[in-house]
Every structure is written in structure tokens, then in C-alpha cells.
Chain A
């Protein structure tokens, strides 16, 4: 029973990490329908910028707050000055964007390797979150509980913004009928760029949160792209709650496969993806009828 509880927490922790990674992409790809394979590049940028801040200030919390600013700026610039003009010239099919952002993903990894070499770095766990907490007869690393809390907080804070506020409503309206929103006097280009930047900042935030448990290195962003797309697609495009549940499914599948059926670990998540694509192509939690 204790073993099960531990593994459940492991699964929950991994799920929330996956959610933090994927939530930005849910906004960018899911909601705004901009295919962005460079999401991993923003994850890398956030981690490295966080590392620089942590080194300069000695504080994890400063890194967590300031680290995401660089990917925010980079995301804003990318959408406003590159992707938006492309879209206006009619060059924004999924293939165009896939090629461009895929190139960007590898260019970022290359640039980081050029600047920082191929060494491994890490941000130290803050004192407050060091050690383990004992409860229900088990001991669990505090930092992992923090990751769970961070994931739930982001989900809880973001969901009402998208569903209930004017910003969310404008954004959703802009995706469905751009001309109408523009006609109403809203600068949709700036709004899109801000949301793109915010989505990128969330990837950067995930990069800083992951740093104390994983490691920071030039190619760190490349491997996560597939997992995040699986979450966004399984959850249903643009569906924040869907992404949350899909992260739970992906995280739990991975953890329990690793613990109890190691042979299945590598393909369990992909098998899930294929099944979803065949049975419910709109995603497990996607609204029926939305065109992606």
C-alpha cells in the first residue's frame, strides 16, 4: 500500500511536470492553432536564463520569477515579427510552421551548445524545499511535492482566465473569427503575440522548475517536444482541462509502466496516442466538431 502511494505520488509529480511543459503549447497550438515545434527551445531558454539568474543572485526563487522573461520576450518577437507577417503572406500552413519552428528548435540547441558547451548544469534546490516530508507512513521528497503544487496552481489560475475573462473571450473569438474581432477595434496581433509569449514563458517556467531534479544541457528541449504534443493531442486541442487530465494519464502511464511493466514503458504512451487518434481524433476531452 505504501509502495502504491509512493508510486502514485511519483506519477502525480511527473504528470504535473508534463502539464507545466504542455500547458504553454495548449495555448499556442491548441488554442491559437499555431504549430510550434520550438516549444522545447523556450524550455531550454528558460532553464539557462534561470541558471544565469540563480548564479548571479544565489536564489532559486529569483530564477523562477525572472527565468521565464527571456522566453516570453523571444516568444513575443517570434510571433509578432516572424510568424504573424508570414501568416499575412499566406505562408502559415502547418507544414510551413513545422519546418520553421523545427529549424528553430535545433538552431537554439546549437546556439546554446556554442555559448555554454555541452556540459551539464543544475540549479540547486532551495533550502526551503530540501529534504523529505513524512506522512501516512511514507517519506517523500519536498521538492517533488512542490512540483505537484506548482502544476495544480498553474492549472487553477489559468483555467478561469481562458474560460471566464474578457481576455480569454477575445482570444477565443480571435481564433474563430479574426476579421470580426479586428473590426471591433481590438489589436489581435498584439494579443496573439502576448499569448504566444506567455505560452513560451510557461515553457521557460517548466525549465526552471525541472532544473533541480533533472539537468540543464544544450539538447534538453529536443526530447520533450514529442511528449508535449502527445498531451496536447490526447487532451483535445485548446482544451486546458483536457491537457491537465491528459498529463495525468501520460504521467501515470509512464510511472506505473516503469514500476510494474518496464518492458511496456517505451511504447505505452504512444499506444495511447494511436488509440486516441483512431477512436477520438478530437482528443479525449475535445469538443466534438471543432476543426483543428
Chain B
């Protein structure tokens, strides 16, 4: 009885294997079908321009390898997370279960990233975040299945705080939207600035996506006696803050210093001449003088007939990290896909933004952060000019796992 049971089970399993083999798995096993990458971004709404830049940068990196790794084509399957964790989870499950992707990448919002990180860890699906700057992604939520090819909020902003403190700035007002990203970026700046001997005399937190008039906040800031305003805003909020700051005549009295998103080139048409003379920190700009950057900018201009923005550079870094990893693995997807992530962690490569290496929690570090000034070029168009550079900081600790 036991024997026949075992036998019949085996027969069924065998039949199932044959069936599966005829249905579709053999094409995967024998002619090595494409390597599938699920790309989750926010293709509509506020972060649509950011996502489009990233997508294009990623395409450039894949095209550099002819779209193939050891003869296997790279197939990208796109999904839109609508910047909403529940939608992101749904799209993630679809990519993993239906499309059977080998790894997932992209993801703009840290809110979505946090929701996906637990899913990735449980489902043993490798995810390489391309934005998602919140410190806790590779801290509290760290996992052997998660890597981040961009950088952490602390890595970007902590040394910026120290830098400005070392340049004779003693007092600053920090100003940003009252939600997690605003707090992590400006929090990191504040820690660096105050450890460097500066003092944040006022903190202005405006309700995220609810504020239209910054008059009150800017008047308070103008009255604070600080030397600079250090801001973190993006999209329409950045346009309004920069414009209204200039309206109140604060441009010389109390300069508004920010990052690559406050003075994003997508906003230049709306800001006009107001951007001229503004200084901001960034991880990449088109005129950056290094080999990897020149190569990337040239390829991007050829394909898209315009200069890449910083989001495109982040997309390129992400694509490059994935392609180098797959190359190292010889185009084979290992049984335990944590090996994809650990292989990536051991990479060091020259990216447009500088040398990229990963820390023990699989988070990419910034070799350098650049300070640039927006100037007018010969044609009267705004252009970024290199002013200074400093090293990126490490990540905050907070990862309780070891892998």
C-alpha cells in the first residue's frame, strides 16, 4: 500500500514535470530565455519626470551591453506604483508571480520601498532600490535580498552640513516639507552642521503638498538673523519656494541653498532667471569631468537629444550595478538569489557620479558630493558650474541582522 502510494505520487510528479517541461520551462532551461527585470517606478503625477529620467538612464546602461549578458537578452517589465505602498505591493506580486522576474528594481518613494522590503525578504526576491533614500531602508529594514544603488539621506546631507559650517556659515534656517523624506534629509544636514559648530536657529516644516503660500514662513526666516536657508523641496513646491523667496528680496540677504531637487532642471522653465547664481549640492551634473560621466552623457545625448538630469544618472548607476552583477554571475541566476545581492555588494566600479562601492548593508556609498553654481552659458542658457566637492558620509547604523 505504502509502496504503491509512493509510486503513484512519483508518477504524478513525473507527469507534472513532463507537462511543465512542455509548457514553458524548457525554453528557460535550454535556450536560456531572457533575464527578466521588474522595473517599478511612479510614472504618473509628481514624480513622473523623476521616473522618466531614471528609466532612460537605465536604458543607457543596458544598451551599453548591447541589451545582453552572455547571450541572454535583458527584458524589462515596467509597472507603476502610483507612489502608494498598497499599489506597489500589488505590482510587486504581479511581477514576481505572473511575470516571474529574476529581480526587481526602481522604486522612487521610500514609503513604497519600506512596504516592499519586507515582502522581498520573506519571498526571497532580490530588490535593488534606485532611489528610496530613507536611512532605515538599509538600516532597520535591511535584508540579504535588498540593495540600494543610490545613497542614503545621511550619506548625502550629513557632510553637507559639516561643509557649510566649515565655510564660515554659523547660523542657518532649515526648511522642508513635513514628511519622512524632508525630516531624514534635513535631519542629516542639521546633525552635520551642528557637529561642525553651526547652529540651526529655526526649523520650518510646511505641510506636504498642502502649502501654496510660503510668505509667512519666509518672513519668519527673514527675521531670524540666520545666514542661509537650507531647503529640501521638489516639484511644484520647489518652484513656489524659490520664486517667493526671490519676491521677498531674500536672494542676497539670506540665500536659499538646496540640493539637486530644489534646483532641478525640470523646474528651470518655470523659474527663468531666478536660478542664475543659485548654489546647490548634487551627486551628478552633465559637465562633470570624469571618464564614466563623459561616456554616459555622450550616450544619453545621442539617444535622447538632451542632457541627462541627476535622476537619469541614478538610473544609469542602477542599471550598471545590475549588469555588472549579472556579468559576474555569467548570466546565470543562482538558486538562492541572495547571491545576486551579495555579488553586487562586492562590486566596485566607476560611475558618472564617482566610484561606487557598497557597505555591509548593501547600500551604495557616495564617493563625492559636488557643490555647483548655476550660471549662464554663452547662449544665455543656465548651466551648472563646478564649485567644490566633499566626500559623502557613511550610512546610519541600525541594521540588526548580519549577512
The answer to whether B206 touches A120, judged by C-beta atoms less than 8 angstroms apart, is no
Known: A213-B240, A259-B219, A259-B220. Contact between A119 and B49, CB under 8 A?
yes
Q: A262-B206, A266-B210 are in contact. List 5 more A-B contacts (CB 8 A).
A: A120-B235, A121-B269, A132-B247, A217-B236, A258-B216
Chain B positions within 8 Å of A117 at CB level: 48-49
The 4 A-B pairs of least Cβ separation, nearest first, read A10-B215, A215-B239, A258-B216, A122-B270
Least Cβ distance of B243 to chain A in Å? Answer: 6
Task: Give every chain B residue within 8 A of A124 (Cβ-Cβ).
Answer: 272
Q: Complex formed: what's the CA distance from A292 to B119 in Å?
A: 50
Complex alpha-carbon distance, A277 and B204, angstroms: 31
Range of interface residues on B (Cβ < 8 Å) = 35 or more
B240 near A214 with CB under 8 A, answer yes
B204 neighbours in A (Cβ, 8 Å): 262
* B249 at interface, CB cutoff 8 A: yes
Residues of the A chain whose Cβ atoms lie less than 8 Å from the Cβ of B266: 119-120
Give every chain A residue within 8 A of B217 (Cβ-Cβ): 258-259, 262
B26 located at the interface, meaning its Cβ lies under 8 Å from any Cβ of chain A in the complex: no
User: With A10-B216, A120-B266, A217-B236 given, is the CB distance from A139 to B249 under 8 Å?
Assistant: yes
- Is there contact, CB below 8 Å, between B247 and A144? yes
Interface residues in A, total, Cβ within 8 A? 39
- Tell me if A284 is interfacial: C-beta within 8 Å of chain B: no
Instruction: Please tell me if the beta carbons of A122 and B243 are within 8 angstroms of each other in the complex.
Output: yes
The answer to whether A38 has its CB under 8 Å from any CB of chain B is: no
Interface string of A130-141 (1 = CB under 8 A from B): 001000000101
Residue numbers in A under 8 Å from B213 (CB-CB): 10, 13-14, 17, 213, 254-255, 258
Partner of A120, one of B209, B210, B249, B267: B267
Chain A, Cβ-Cβ closest to B48: A118
Residues of A within 8 A of B44 (CB): 113, 118
A214:B212 contact, CB within 8 angstroms: yes
From A10, A11, A212, A215, residue with most partner B Cβ within 10 Å: A215
The reply to whether the CB of A70 lies closer than 8 angstroms to some CB of chain B is no
B207 engages A266 (CB within 8 Å): yes
**Using Cβ atoms and an 8 Å threshold, which residues of chain A touch B45?**
118, 219
Q: Is A3 on the interface with B (CB-CB < 8 A)? A: yes
Instruction: Name the one of B48, B215, B272 contacting A14, with C-beta atoms under 8 angstroms.
Output: B215
A124 to B248, CA, bound (A): 16
Counting CB contacts under 8 A, is A216 at the interface?
Answer: yes
Most-contacted residue by chain A among B45, B204, B215 (CB, 10 A): B215
Contacts of A254 in B (CB 8 A): 213, 216
Task: Evaluate contact between B239 and A120: CB separation under 8 angstroms.
Answer: yes
**Interface contact A11-B216, CB-CB below 8 Å:** yes
| B244 at interface, CB cutoff 8 A | yes
Q: Tell whether A256 is near chain B: CB-to-CB under 8 Å.
A: yes
Interface residues of B in 220-277 (CB under 8 A from A): 220, 223, 235-236, 239-240, 243-244, 247-249, 266-267, 269-272
CA distance A269 to B49 in the complex (A): 32
B386 on interface, CB distance cutoff 8 Å: no
Chain A to chain B contacts (Cβ below 8 Å), 16 pairs: A7-B216, A10-B213, A11-B216, A13-B215, A14-B215, A119-B49, A215-B236, A217-B236, A219-B45, A223-B212, A254-B213, A255-B213, A256-B216, A258-B206, A258-B211, A262-B206
> A206 to chain B: closest CB distance in Å?
12
Q: Which residues of the other chain, B, contact A266 by a CB distance below 8 angstroms?
A: 207, 210
Q: How far is the CB of A209 from chain B (nearest CB, A)?
A: 13
Please tell me if A152 contacts chain B, counting CB pairs below 8 Å: no
What chain B residues lie within 8 Å of A265 (beta carbons)? 206-207, 211
Is A223 within 8 A of B210, CB to CB?
Answer: yes
Flag whether A6 is at the interface (Cβ < 8 A).
Answer: yes
Asked whether, in the complex, the Cβ of A216 is within 8 Å of the Cβ of B207, the reply is no
A138: nearest residue on chain B (CB-CB)?
B219
